[in-house]
């Protein structure tokens, strides 16, 4: 049950737009659950009338359970801002209120997939078509299940392009061996031929912790690399601007939290335009140079919740209930 707002906290009249990333920012090490403190603070601030919006690189279906867990009624930005809509209104069948769609054309997806260097080295691939349907060549690996499927239906196929048919895509995910020479060739090809059409980032794939097979924690796999590709017209910085205009909340009243490469535009643009971009204590070093501040605690320690309690000087009981 959400904690009842105190009179003092209700009197905070200036409402903020709070933008939260998921993986590495608000979720625990298992990439599945909200840190308890984060969850408590988000629901409390939502109760006070602040706008809490999820802005994530995850696909729509993978992010939706977290939106529902927080009981939000705000817009949600998925696919790094390529798709912005109001899931609450869609669930109530009051219209989808789709604010923004930036897709990758079918021709670009086909061009990338048919590049010689991609075809020769590709291990697995995933595409979300413009209807938010998930198509993947892998159906058992924990990375795909936990980060992209998240208990949702998906189509398992040996031929991504055949299953995509003529539809455009919201994202394309490619998995390769982490072999420097081949990876450099793949990245160079994407940069040279597709930089006008797509934006992409490169991250380590995740796997179960080899030191503790029973733990739900996922850790980076140094042997595998994932390239996440989206429309060049989509990034979290553009999403910040879209959400700011939609809610009529000026940039100086926006607080944004992130931890990795795909959060760069969100943290940088929020800060540069007078807002409050905050990098996580566990964030990549470069991101920490772009924000206005850094959380004292890491994502799995409730870093965002801890920061917001201090920022708003909330009268919130943060003691854990005894079992």
Question: What CA–CA distance (Å, rounded) separates 126 from 170?
Answer: 11
Q: Phi/psi at 288 (nearest 5 deg)?
A: -65, -20
Q: 284: pLDDT confidence band, cut at 50, 70 and 90? A: very high
Domains and CATH numbers, the chain: 14-101+235-312 (3.40.50.1000), 106-231 (3.30.1240.10)
DSSP 149: I
Helices 264-272 and 236-247, interaxial angle, to 10°?
Answer: 50
Q: What is the DSSP string of 182-215?
A: HHHHHHHHHHHHHTTTEEEEEEEEEEE-TT-TT-
pLDDT of residue 147: 74
pLDDT of residue 323: 42
* Residue partners of 101: CB distance under 8 A and separation at least 6: 82, 83, 130, 170
Per-residue pLDDT tens for 104-154? 999 999 999 999 999 999 999 999 999 999 999 988 787 877 777 777 788
More confident residue, 279 or 99: 279
Tell me what percent of the residues of the chain surpass a pLDDT of 70: 92
Q: Are 238 and 77 in contact (CB under 8 A)?
A: no
* Residue partners of 120: CB distance under 8 A and separation at least 6: none
Tell me whether strands 134-136 and 155-156 are parallel, antiparallel or unpaired: parallel
Question: What CA–CA distance (Å, rounded) separates 245 from 229?
Answer: 26
The burial class, CB within 10 Å (0-12 / 13-18 / 19+), for 11 is exposed
Structure token pair of residue 74? 């705000």
Q: Which residues of 113-122 are buried (b: 16+ CB within 10 A; e: fewer)?
A: bebebbeebb
State the pTM of this model. 0.86
More confident residue, 130 or 322: 130
């Amino acid at each position: 049950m959400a904690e009842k707002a105190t009179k003092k906290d209700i009197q905070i009249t200036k409402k903020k737009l709070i933008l939260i990333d998921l993986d590495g920012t608000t979720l625990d090490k298992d990439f599945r659950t909200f840190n308890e403190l984060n969850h408590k603070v988000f629901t409390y601030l939502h109760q006070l009338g602040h706008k809490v919006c999820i802005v994530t690189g995850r696909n729509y279906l993978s992010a939706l359970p977290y939106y529902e867990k927080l009981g939000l009624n705000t817009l949600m930005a998925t696919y790094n801002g390529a798709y912005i809509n109001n899931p609450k209104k869609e669930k109530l069948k009051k219209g989808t209120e789709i604010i923004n769609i930036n897709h990758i054309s079918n021709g670009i997806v086909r061009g990338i997939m048919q590049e010689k260097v991609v075809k020769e080295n590709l291990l697995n691939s995933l595409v979300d078509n413009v209807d938010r349907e998930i198509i993947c060549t892998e159906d058992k690996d924990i990375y795909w299940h936990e980060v992209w499927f998240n208990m949702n239906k998906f189509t398992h196929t040996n031929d991504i392009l055949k299953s995509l048919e003529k539809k455009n895509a919201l994202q394309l995910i490619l998995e390769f061996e982490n072999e420097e020479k081949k990876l450099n060739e793949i990245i160079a090809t994407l940069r040279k031929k597709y930089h006008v059409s797509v934006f992409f980032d490169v991250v380590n794939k995740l796997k179960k912790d080899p030191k503790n097979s029973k733990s739900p924690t996922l850790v980076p796999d140094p042997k595998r690399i994932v390239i996440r590709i989206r429309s060049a017209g989509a990034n979290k910085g553009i999403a910040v601007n879209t959400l700011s205009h939609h809610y009529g909340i000026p940039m100086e009243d926006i607080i944004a939290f992130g931890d990795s490469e795909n959060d760069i535009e969100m943290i940088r643009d929020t800060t540069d335009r007078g807002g409050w971009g905050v990098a996580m204590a566990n964030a990549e070093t470069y991101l920490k140079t772009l924000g206005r501040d850094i959380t004292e605690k890491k994502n799995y320690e409730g870093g965002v919740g801890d920061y917001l309690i201090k920022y708003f000087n909330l009268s919130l009981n943060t003691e854990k209930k005894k079992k």
